[in-house]
Amino acid sequence: GGGVEAGGAALDRREATASSAAAAAAIGAATAAAAADDAAAPPLPPSELTFWVVTSLFLVCSVGIALVVTDLGLVLSVVGATGSTTVSYLLPGFCYFRLCPRKRSPMRLLALLQLALGCIIMPGSLALIFAAGAGER
């Protein structure tokens, strides 16, 4: 009886060794396939490519503006004119106009008027800022 068990244990070890070798071969093949995939990686998907292009353009433009502009007050004026007009006039008017369920509502008309007023205020304030900045030179 003991010899059969010992033979069975030896057989189990051989099966385990064979299955370990098969697993190692499968892992090696998968690693080689992954390395081949990395070597011939496909081009970036359009969304990721777009992300990197837009990010790079923003960075280059920011550095260019930082190198050219000597008056920080002018930059802050432009940011304030565009940002505050967008937040105070354009976005609320646009959102209410798009989200109002009743198509013939006086509030919807006022929202459209607010949006139009923002479209007038922003270019006007930017023109005044740049005219004042050009007059100081």
DSSP conformation letters of 8-22: HHHHHHHHHHHHHHH
Question: Which of the pair, 118 or 29, is modelled with greater confidence?
Answer: 118
Question: The tokens of 87 are what?
Answer: 């937040």
User: Is the pLDDT score of 3 beyond 80?
Assistant: no
Torsion sign across C-alpha atoms 68, 74, 76, 78: negative
Question: Which of the pair, 23 or 111, is modelled with greater confidence?
Answer: 111
pLDDT value for 111: 93
Question: Which of the pair, 99 or 13, is modelled with greater confidence?
Answer: 99
Question: Which of the pair, 44 or 115, is modelled with greater confidence?
Answer: 115
Contact call for residues 89 and 118 (beta carbons, < 8 A): yes
Q: For all residues of the chain together, what is the average pLDDT? A: 80
Helix or strand run (H / E) with residue 63: helix 46-68
Contact call for residues 65 and 83 (beta carbons, < 8 A): no
- Model confidence at 71, pLDDT cuts 50, 70, 90, reads confident
User: Is the pLDDT score of 7 beyond 70?
Assistant: no
- Taking residues 89-101, report their average pLDDT: 92
CA distance 24 to 76: 62
Question: The tokens of 27 are what?
Answer: 């892992």
Pick the closest to residue 122 from 76, 74, 88 (CA basis): 88
pLDDT value for 81: 94
